[in-house]
Structure 1
Amino acid sequence: MSIIGTNIRNTRNKKNLSLKELAKKSGVTEQYLADIESGKKIPNQKLIESISKALGISVDLLEPSYFSQYFEEDDEKNEPKAPKHKITDKKPIEEDNAISSALSKAVRKIPVIDKMTSVKDFPNKNDIVDYKYEPVFQNKATNVPVGEFVYYIAQDNAMANSRILKGDLALVFITDSIRNGDIILYTERNKCYIRRIAFLEKEDILLYADNYEYQPILSSQRNINIMGKVVRVEFKI
């Protein structure tokens, strides 16, 4: 299911607009809009702007920032009160269990992969070579679906000018909400690549490196599987 498609459908229903009406206002066919809402097609940035204008809302309401849920400050009234210290006669094993439980909420386990043999149930357990532990932001991991992030070990120097070198760990946010110029992780013919993406006319896309030694690839959305966007990189020193 597409995040953008779901937001478009929900907003359209709230405004009592039919598929046909919104499609006409947005300059696309009714079937194409239906495919976007169902997640079969990913709209480019220009089309997202057209649809948001037709709905009379901000683009951010269709394509919200994916980091907002982690860094958004909580209201003071929602802040948990510090627990009072008290003497307890609980057994050490119960205390250890409590500490383990607290630590499990303070960090999250993110899989590390270096290939992709299947796009089903991504990341596939057979492709996982390691795990990294990341701190939880603002104690909000309990509301975040498991498997939202994955680390991918870069296999080439195609994105060297973006400071992603072979062997570096690229943190990938698993999403289908992709914008022009995003660095994405995608598969084509059972091989993984990290490249920038540019949406062209219809379903055509350009996948390009920022290292001149690697040639750009003209392809179609139908020929690739976009797994997510690179949001951070960890490199060796």
Structure 2
Amino acid sequence: MSRIGQEINKVRLKKGKTPKQLAKALGVSESFVLDIESGKKIVSDDMIGRISKALDFELGPIGLFASDDKFAPSTGNKDSVRPVKKVASVATNEPVQQVWDDAFGNILKTVPVYGYKMDKIIDKKLLPIEKNKVEGYAKEKVFYLNIEDTDMAGFRIFKGDRAFGVLENQIDKDGIFLIEYNGERAVRQVKKLQGDKLLLVYNRGTLITETVSTKEIKIVARLVKLEVIL
């Protein structure tokens, strides 16, 4: 057990909280809390702050800790130290990067950035996970879309901007969507009409509309927020 893990465990027990209660307050899994206390997870200053608040006890800015402290006090001479197991030990053959990924995978989501084809990742961005969601959406479905043309300039969506999107395959309400139509992908405002009809709207300086049936297009994702690159 690492020193920071021991401290968290000690304070949690003193406050009469179970690992499950602390995990719920932090918005993480119970196993994540147990791994922190046992020294299996790396803990950041930000997480220390959240734990301090949840336990109503100031743990202090401890920084980033590995799964075990590099050195721990011996039970003999107070000036001596004894080495203990490091994060990437030969016995476990666990890469340091994997430890980092496991630790932050519970609090941060690596959100991919795609072009319209979504066939390869062109960039990545870290966003916080709250209650197993990112920006209020299922973390497995979120991504950023790099706007590739000026079709939506009339909506103040310009080439080079990034739109935060959520994977969807149907329309439950009007909005801005990434769609596939006539073998190509495009961003359009989509409005539901009567029956199985949809109105596609875009604006390159002139408003253009087109009425199609739901069978003619494929809904890829809903775009919910725009990130303007300055």
Could you tell me the TM-score, scaled by structure 1's length? 0.53
What is the CA-CA distance between 1:223 and the residue it aligns to?
0.5
1:108, 1:160 → 2: CA distance?
Answer: 30
1:226 aligns with 2:219: yes
Segments of 5+ residues of structure 1 without an aligned counterpart are: 1-74, 117-122
CA contact (8 A) 1:106 1:139 kept: no
Change beyond 3 A, Cα 1:76–1:98: closer
Segments of 5+ residues of structure 2 without an aligned counterpart are: 1-20, 27-32, 40-67, 73-83, 90-94
Q: Deviations over 1:5-56 (max 9, x none)?
A: xxxxxxxxxxxxxxxxxxxxxxxxxxxxxxxxxxxxxxxxxxxxxxxxxxxx
1:145, 1:235 → 2: CA distance?
Answer: 22
1:156 aligns with 2:149: yes
- Partner SS state of residue 115, structure 1: coil
CA contact (8 A) 1:109 1:131 kept: no
What is the CA-CA distance between 1:174 and the residue it aligns to?
0.6
What is the CA-CA distance between 1:129 and the residue it aligns to?
4.2
The structure that has the greater radius of gyration is 2
CA contact (8 A) 2:113 2:125 kept: no
CA contact (8 A) 1:198 1:206 kept: yes
Corresponding residue number in structure 1 for 2:167: 174
CA contact (8 A) 2:116 2:186 kept: no
Paired residues, number: 154
Change beyond 3 A, Cα 1:189–1:210: closer
% identical aligned pairs: 19
CA contact (8 A) 1:149 1:171 kept: yes
What is the CA-CA distance between 1:93 and the residue it aligns to?
1.6
CA contact (8 A) 1:105 1:139 kept: no
What is the CA-CA distance between 1:214 and the residue it aligns to?
4.2
Compare relative contact order (CA 8 Å, sep 6+) and give the higher one, 1 or 2. 1
1:132 aligns with 2:127: no
1:201 aligns with 2:194: yes
Change beyond 3 A, Cα 1:102–1:186: same
CA contact (8 A) 2:192 2:199 kept: yes
What is the CA-CA distance between 1:153 and the residue it aligns to?
1.9
CA contact (8 A) 1:195 1:209 kept: yes
- Partner SS state of residue 169, structure 2: coil
Change beyond 3 A, Cα 1:167–1:214: farther
What is the CA-CA distance between 1:78 and the residue it aligns to?
2.3
Corresponding residue number in structure 2 for 1:91: 86
CA contact (8 A) 2:132 2:139 kept: no
1:78 aligns with 2:24: yes
- Partner SS state of residue 215, structure 2: helix
CA contact (8 A) 1:107 1:133 kept: no
- Partner SS state of residue 79, structure 1: helix
CA contact (8 A) 2:170 2:219 kept: no
Structure with greater helix percent: 1
Q: Deviations over 1:170-196 (max 9, x none)?
A: 222012352443111101122111111
What is the CA-CA distance between 1:160 and the residue it aligns to?
2.7
Q: What's the Cα RMSD here?
A: 3.4
Change beyond 3 A, Cα 1:145–1:92: closer
1:192 aligns with 2:185: yes
Corresponding residue number in structure 1 for 2:115: 114
Q: Deviations over 1:60-109 (max 9, x none)?
A: xxxxxxxxxxxxxxx87822569558856222425935333212333323
